[in-house]
Amino acid sequence: MTKRYKITIAYDGTNFAGFQSQPHQRTVQSVLERAVNKMSKKDEFIPIFGSGRTDSGVHALGQVVHFDFPHEMSADSMLKALNSMLPLDCVVVDCEIVPDDFHARFTTHGKRYMYRVSQSYFVDPFKRNYTGHYKYPVNLEKIKAALPDVIGTHDFTSFCASGSNVKSHVRTIYDATVRRDEVQNELIFEFAGSGFLYNQVRIMVATLLEIGRGKRPVHDFLRLYEVKDRNEARETAPASGLYLKEVYYD
């Protein structure tokens, strides 16, 4: 009777120590596991598998997790039951019962991230946890001219935070866009790709902002792919502006 549930969740990352469970920390995984296991029997523990981690302060609009639930429950009932138990900074937006070979992490073939940059001179108190902040004027055309360099398969070593120990730094970006939201006075970046290295989006955004400000040449990404040196990209945009928007499956 055990069935696999795929749930799509949104969360405000401000008060979470990231996605992944850690001792003595409030994480998204731990609040989800607590909610799911309130509906299980005492001698069973139902683990939650996420599509991947998000850092402390990073948000999600469409993070995906799965778990195996051994009691009969419709997808709609599961959605409502979880939302009645989850804290208000994490909500289930979709729930479906999926085949047993679905795996939130191992069957994904890509992700989409959004990054919001507030351009106000002083930090807007209502955006301090929900955007990055860059008060300097940027030339949007320069950033748009740089974005084709981001798309494609590249060695992103210069854009990978130290401390990461993945084997390969080669990733493929399918889509990279930027637009200006005049009403909100924000720049909105989006990146879709096969996978992303640790802090890759935040380092790419910081580099693109420097290109827009004229502190780097427009095609500096091409040089950074060559030098494979994290110190050359330097800045990392803050976690507060980053949103995991979508996780792709077949």
Binding residues for substrate: 113
- Segment 1-20, which members bind a copy of itself (CB under 8 A)? 10-12
Shortest approach of a copy of itself to residue 151 CB, angstroms?
A: 29
Annotated binding site: 113
Shortest approach of a copy of itself to residue 240 CB, angstroms?
A: 10
| Active-site residue identified among 12, 43, 55, 100 | 55
Among residues 106 and 126, whose Cβ is nearest to a copy of itself?
A: 126
Query: What is d(CA 125, CA 40) in angstroms, rounded to the nearest whole number?
Result: 41
Q: Are 81 and 74 in contact (CB under 8 A)?
A: no
Query: By CB neighbour count within 10 A (0-12 exposed, 13-18 middle, 19+ buried), where does 201 fall?
Result: buried
Shortest approach of a copy of itself to residue 63 CB, angstroms?
A: 11
Query: What is d(CA 171, CA 168) in angstroms, rounded to the nearest whole number?
Result: 8
Query: By CB neighbour count within 10 A (0-12 exposed, 13-18 middle, 19+ buried), where does 150 fall?
Result: buried
Of the residues 69, 130, 248, 249, which one makes contact with a copy of itself according to CB under 8 A: 130
Site string (80-119) toward a copy of itself, x via CB under 8 A? ---x----xxxxx---------------------------
Beta-strand (E) ranges in the chain? 3-11, 49-50, 59-69, 90-98, 110-118, 132-133, 152-155, 170-181, 186-193, 242-248
Active site residue 55: yes
Site string (27-66) toward a copy of itself, x via CB under 8 A? --------------------------------x-------
